[in-house]
Amino acid sequence: MGCSTGKGCGRNGDCSEGGCNRINFYDWLENMLPPGTPESLNIYEVKFRGMQKGYYKNTNRLELYPGDWVVVESDRGYDIGSLGIGGQLVRLQLKKNNIPENELLKIYRKASEEELQKFTELKAQEYSMLIKTRGIISNLKLDMKLTEVFYQADGTKATFYYTAENRVDFRELIKILAEEFRIRIEMRQIGLRQETALVGGIGSCGRELCCSTWIQNFKNVTTASARYQNISLNPSKITGLCGRLKCCLNYELEVYLDALNDIPDIKEIKTELGTAVLQKVDIFKKIMWFGYPNDDSWVGLPVEKVHEIMELNNKGILPPTLSLLDEQTLKTEQLVIEDFVDVVGQSNLHLEPKKKNKKSNKKKENKK
């Protein structure tokens, strides 16, 4: 049985064993059906190449596990995909996407060795097809960029993924491709995020791109996600290889939003010395830094003290001045500084060892 990663791990068996899967997961709702649901309606998510997935019914009551390669019903043929989640989790996905269960296609059987071998041979032909098609597109002078070509497992259809800024009339292109390769042609336009996911690459973090490894559904990313996390809005820092905002800006957003619930939404506080303007916020230490317009120094106040000053301002009372951090906070910061240990150490490899002065030693011996 082939490995779902396409690279192999050197072990015997299939990817249903876990350990070599690119995405390991545990379906905690497996085989748990709501009351009144017939057990014969076993529904599974099947993943295909090109970031495609679909939902299929196991009408033949096959014993299936995540990672199994299965043969599924397709448009005028069949296709092969990798089995994903099943059971109640899939029903929740169907309800979320408004997909009726009676319109789902079927899972025929588990893929045999011969079918997987044929599928591997078809994948080997995709690169040459991609190069030829790019040449045809260049000759037709079409304003489009061909990204990937994927064969259907039965060899009767090929899907061409492309990007284009404007609408493209590729009717002549489809005629030429159909005559050249003798298969059914499907042209599918994708966005820049999908193109990057298909091509792959290494992100600024040094790891393989999330969109090409495990992300299946792209969520909206806005600059507000960076603002909540006090991240600089430098385009070179928050933009991914696709030219869009990085998907990872959403990873810790909920944690920051929860931490911001205790921090008051104010821009300034008033004292007898003047109006102090908010300069920055340490979200997790719960410290807000204020400064006077004509003063370069900032004063850090705990959130509790800021609430106290806000209550005084609401009553029309002005505190004399902004006080520094309370003693307990100062002690905590001092402990952090005192407990710091340089575990890395300093290297003096670039320094040459001092040479002994042999002449001076000889003079001393002669004097003796």
Last residue of a domain, one of 258, 277, 305: 258
Q: What is the DSSP pairing of strand 274-282 with strand 299-302?
A: unpaired
> Does 368 map to a domain?
no
Dihedral pair phi/psi, residue 133, rounded to 5°:
-65, -40
> Does 344 map to a domain?
no
Total structural domains in the chain?
4
Looking at residue 359, its pLDDT comes to 58
> Does 45 map to a domain?
yes
CATH (domain of 147): 3.30.300
> Does 167 map to a domain?
yes
DSSP letter assigned to residue 75: T
Structural domain span for residue 136: 125-190
Q: Dihedral sign, CA of 189, 136, 79, 67? A: negative
Query: Are 94 and 141 in a shared domain?
Result: no
Query: Are 71 and 89 in a shared domain?
Result: yes
Last residue of a domain, one of 190, 214, 232: 190
Regions of the chain with pLDDT less than 70: 1-41, 323-368
- Give the pLDDT confidence of 62-72 residue by residue, as tens digits: 888 888 999 99
Looking at residue 12, its pLDDT comes to 40
Query: Are 242 and 296 in a shared domain?
Result: no
> Does 319 map to a domain?
yes
What end-to-end distance do the CA atoms of the chain give, in Å? 86
User: Is residue 71 helix, strand or coil?
Assistant: strand
> Does 170 map to a domain?
yes
Longest Cα–Cα distance in the chain: 109
Looking at residue 321, its pLDDT comes to 77
- Give the pLDDT confidence of 93-151 residue by residue, as tens digits: 888 888 888 888 999 999 999 999 999 999 999 999 999 999 999 999 999 999 999 99
Per the CB < 8 A criterion, the answer to whether 275 and 268 are in contact is yes
